Amino acid sequence: MALVRFVFLFVLISFSASAQKDYKLWLQYNKVDNAEIASEYKNSLNNIVSFGNSETIKISVKELETGVFSMLDKKTEVKTQIEGENNLIIGSKSSLDSNLLKTLEADFEKINKEGFIIKSIAVKNKKQLIITGKNDVAVLYGVFSFLRILQTNKPINNLNIADSPKTNIRILNHWDNLDRYVERGYAGISLWNWQKLPDFIDQRYIDYARANASIGINGTVLTNVNANALILTPQYLEKVEALANVFRPYGIKVYLTARFSAPIEIGNLKTADPKDPEVINWWKNKAAEIYKRIPDFGGFLVKANSEGQPGPQNYGRDHVDGANMLADAVAPFGGVIMWRAFVYSEHDANDRAKQAFAEFQPYDGKFKENVIVQVKNGAIDFQPREPFHPLFGAMPKTPLMMEFQITQEYLGFSTHLVFLPKLFQEVLESDTYQKGKGSTVAKAVDGTLYQHKLTGIAGVANIGNDLNWTGHPFAQANWYGFGRLAWNPYLDSETIADEWLRCTFSNDENFIKPVKNIMIESREAVVNYMTPLGLHHIMDTGHHYGPGPWVSNLSRPEWNPTYYHKADKNGIGFDRSKSGTNATAQYAPEVEKLFDNLETCPEKDLLWFHHVSWDYKLKNGQTLWNGLALKYQEGVNQVAAMQNVWNKTEKYIDSERFHEVQMLLEIQNKEAKWWRDACLLYFQQFSGKELPAGVEKPTQTLEYFKSLKFPFAPGNGK
Ligand code: BDP
């Protein structure tokens, strides 16, 4: 009996210990295994000397103490004066003494207001390490960055780092409803417990803020873009205020989505016309009311006249009228309006991929200066691969911010291991040529292309109340990677994967190397087994789970997968070249030429821009049909290879995460085969050709795949 109890207890303890691991994200602060490195660290870190006593500085000190203690088994003392050598000094510019200020004068020149300095310096001939910045939150960023250096076992004896974020608004968009249902959420329900707020502060709010601060995220939109006006009522604003108070010391501003019809729904007005004086006044008062509670409120994110959401067009006005009216309301308080360009209409027979550009580009220069237009990375909708959105670089007089989707609505939910920074990087590196060669999307987004001061990157969050936050342990890497790229859109995704693995799992090279490869390959794998060669939007309807290339009965033509792949006897693909919808003309001439010509169009985007015959010869000599089938197979093979690698990692990590990922990869493998078989069987009806050698034969019929229904697939309404 005693033995049973002991075993039970042991299982319980080891279970909860590893469950905690999942929860701790990339802030594991694992003990430094390498004795040499550990002793170097210990010798260089005597006491913490802290200048300033704001909440943020207290948080910074606590983080350092926790990190150093946990990684080095060393308790550091906290002093307010420098004594002896090898201390870690922290404090913002305004709290440093004149001596230190003088030493760092040139360094402060190198950073912006959120940037930090981590530097080995001599004070009265004694070696010290300092972490500083122009304000306390910048110091906190520096602290997390320093802890990351320790977590990744890099040398600290001669540091000289000056690092600043390249964008101002680095923000998560939560598509969370007030009943805690998360639209396109695959990791549980919303973190925000509106019922218990404002009086009950869940520890998760604090941990959420800390995790975000650790990667430089400085804003959060708490509510769904498909907005509910109730969030703007006093009853809810009190709750929002409570969250804002928790997030503030971590440098995170709160934003809300504004439902355009709110003046009618909660203000008892007859209209929401943006030119109506009463409406204008209503929003002004609403803004004042919010700022009274939350002086650093960030502003509003607005989805208007898109997918049925109300907007200025309901009153014969346009997006500029709507955005500028709201911009005026928040301007006196320093707020911004993030106005989304995700628009397309069932009444517009134009190629859906062209509609946002056609509508927004002519508005260039017409928005107020506190408006930033938020543009999805591609012209359709967060597909596994899309060419960059033609609006980037094409509105020189308007700040544009990037919207990425971190939640994997179209990339396997929280079941598939897909490392998204690879996708993000591909988009950011794309050359728009709008100001000649080198006019990358990253430059359009960080403001350097046209010297914009207001800049930003948004990510649709993949966070819910699952124990591990994101459903899949590796989906944490997508949250992490998003933050890192928002800070610096020029970072390499491989570097990000490396950092994340070390901080989250282990520094053992035998683990890092192969698993990093899995991550890097994983994005191409999902493209291959879902939408190779430029295919897009062939997922099943509504929930978007699994393949549905056959769907053709939806009320709006541009919701049907058949609209996008246009498979017929002659071939497959959407002709967006001159001979088709001429969407290519929305790009700069150099890019237009590249995409427009079948010969020069990158094969990864082939069927996005061209309707291509089944016998068309690909660059590798295969016919299009064979090449397509082989790509689907390659995707499946890549998942199998990922599994092989993962199965050998058990000895390096905790068994809970090992087994979780193992099970998830098994599902990913099954679903990759499902995608391959369903799509190939369906397209085969048009190509009329056999599957080439090397492609496994489907084990089910097309009818079987078509019959599959998933009424309760997550993320798609209740
Ligand atoms: C689509 C999602 C839908 C969102 C929409 C948006 O399916 O749930 O509301 O994007 O971004 O991809 O507004």
pLDDT for 12: 44
Identify the residue whose C-alpha is closest to ligand 1 atom 2: 184
pLDDT tens, position by position, 207-220: 999 999 999 999 99
pLDDT for 19: 59
The CATH number given to whatever domain includes residue 670 is 3.90.1330.10
- Average pLDDT over the chain, rounded to an integer: 96
pLDDT tens, position by position, 487-497: 999 999 999 99
Cα 710 from Cα 440, distance rounded (Å): 40
Question: Ligand 1 centre from 528 Cα, in Å?
Answer: 23
If DSSP codes are grouped into helix, strand and coil, which group holds residue 389?
A: coil
Which residues, 6+ apart, have CB-to-CB distance to 538 below 8 Å? 530, 531, 547, 548, 549, 561, 564, 565, 679
Residues 314 and 187 occupy one common structural domain: yes
- For residue 198, say if its preceding peptide bond is cis, omega within 30 degrees of 0: yes
From 381, 446, 498, 677, the catalytic residue: 381
Q: How far is CA 191 from the centre of its chain?
A: 17
Residues 215 and 245 occupy one common structural domain: yes
H-state helical runs in 531-623: 561-565, 589-596, 606-609
Ligand 1 mutation pick, 175, 257, 407, max ligand atoms within 8 A of CB: 175
Residues 92 and 202 occupy one common structural domain: no
Residues 196 and 328 occupy one common structural domain: yes
Residues 155 and 220 occupy one common structural domain: no
Question: Ligand 1 centre from 714 Cα, in Å?
Answer: 14
116-123/126-133 β-pairing: antiparallel
Last residue of a domain, one of 163, 182, 202: 163
Residue 538 sits in which domain range?
Answer: 528-574+611-707
The CATH number given to whatever domain includes residue 139 is 3.30.379.10
- Domain assignment present for 43: yes
Question: Ligand 1 centre from 716 Cα, in Å?
Answer: 10
The atom of ligand 1 lying closest to the CA of 716 is 8
- Is residue 6's pLDDT more than 60? no
- Domain assignment present for 143: yes
pLDDT for 17: 55
Active site residue 307: yes
pLDDT tens, position by position, 600-624: 999 999 999 999 999 999 999 999 9
Residues 186 and 334 occupy one common structural domain: yes
pLDDT tens, position by position, 530-541: 999 999 999 999
Beta bridge mates, 577:
none
From 65, 183, 202, 307, the catalytic residue: 307
Contact (CB, 8 A) for 405 and 560 = no
Active site residue 386: no
Question: Ligand 1 centre from 225 Cα, in Å?
Answer: 8
Ligand 1 mutation pick, 177, 226, 377, max ligand atoms within 8 A of CB: 226
Residues 198 and 305 occupy one common structural domain: yes
The atom of ligand 1 lying closest to the CA of 460 is 11
Question: How crowded is the C-beta side of 326, counted as CA atoms within 13 Å?
Answer: 31
Tokens found for residue 440: 């990358």
Is 2 buried (19+), middle (13-18) or exposed (0-12) by CB count in 10 A? Answer: exposed
Residues 226 and 113 occupy one common structural domain: no
pLDDT tens, position by position, 17-66: 555 899 999 999 999 999 999 999 999 999 999 999 999 999 999 999 99
User: Domain count of the chain?
Assistant: 3
Active site residue 381: yes
The atom of ligand 1 lying closest to the CA of 403 is 11
- Is residue 11's pLDDT more than 90? no
- Domain assignment present for 420: no
Quick one: what percent of the chain has pLDDT higher than 70?
Answer: 97
pLDDT for 10: 46
Q: Which residues line ligand 1 (CB under 6 A)?
A: 183-184, 225-226, 303, 307, 342, 381-382, 409
The atom of ligand 1 lying closest to the CA of 381 is 12
Identify the residue whose C-alpha is closest to ligand 1 atom 10: 381
The atom of ligand 1 lying closest to the CA of 226 is 9
pLDDT tens, position by position, 240-267: 999 999 999 999 999 999 999 999 999 9
- Domain assignment present for 26: yes
Cα 163 from Cα 571, distance rounded (Å): 51
The helix (H) or strand (E) run that includes residue 255 is strand 253-257
pLDDT tens, position by position, 624-648: 999 999 999 999 999 999 999 999 9
Residues 548 and 692 occupy one common structural domain: yes
Identify the residue whose C-alpha is closest to ligand 1 atom 11: 342
- Domain assignment present for 76: yes
Identify the residue whose C-alpha is closest to ligand 1 atom 9: 226
Question: Ligand 1 centre from 633 Cα, in Å?
Answer: 30
Contact (CB, 8 A) for 57 and 97 = no
Last residue of a domain, one of 133, 163, 193: 163
The CATH number given to whatever domain includes residue 271 is 3.20.20.80
Question: Ligand 1 centre from 310 Cα, in Å?
Answer: 15
Residues 148 and 185 occupy one common structural domain: no
Question: Ligand 1 centre from 184 Cα, in Å?
Answer: 8
Residues 695 and 619 occupy one common structural domain: yes
From 409, 426, 524, 605, the catalytic residue: 409
- Domain assignment present for 313: yes
Tokens found for residue 252: 């995170």
pLDDT for 15: 46
Identify the residue whose C-alpha is closest to ligand 1 atom 12: 381
pLDDT tens, position by position, 187-202: 999 999 999 999 999 9
- Domain assignment present for 718: no
Residues 701 and 563 occupy one common structural domain: yes
Last residue of a domain, one of 163, 178, 208: 163
Is 520 buried (19+), middle (13-18) or exposed (0-12) by CB count in 10 A? Answer: middle
pLDDT tens, position by position, 648-689: 999 999 999 999 999 999 999 999 999 999 999 999 999 999
pLDDT tens, position by position, 335-360: 999 999 999 988 888 999 999 999 99
Cα 429 from Cα 368, distance rounded (Å): 28
pLDDT band at 718 (very low <50, low <70, confident <90, very high): low
- Domain assignment present for 516: no
Contact (CB, 8 A) for 474 and 519 = yes
- Is residue 563's pLDDT more than 50? yes
